[in-house]
Structure 1
């Protein structure tokens, strides 16, 4: 069995890293860099659905916990 040395070893490692990069790009990187496309898909999929009606156990619909209430001064 021949050992991979020199440029063959570099080619093997580069091929593995490249394959992993090509597999990860459409799954992780593209949605993070172009969220508008996915927001439009989500809007179309949820059209006509009121979240309050489908919320289980009469739980409060999620709201931003860091949203500060405006004080009246």
Structure 2
């Protein structure tokens, strides 16, 4: 078995890293850059769900757990 040496080794590594990048771009990088498509899909999927009805323990949908107060506007 011969080992790649010199420019062939660099070409092999570059090709492997490039293939890995091309494969991972639509799965991991693209959704992080532009999430608007996923927000639209989520909005469509949840349009008939009222969160108040499925919230466990009769809890409010959102409350600040640290009890921050809003600053007074003067």
TM (norm. structure 2) is 0.74
Stretches of structure 1 that go unaligned for 5 or more consecutive residues are none
Aligned match of 2:69: 69
Aligned length, in residue pairs: 72
Alignment of 1:10-25 (within 5 A): 10-25=10-25
Alignment of 1:1-73 (within 5 A): 1-63=1-63, 68-72=68-72
* RMSD (Å), alpha carbons: 2.4
TM (norm. structure 1) is 0.75
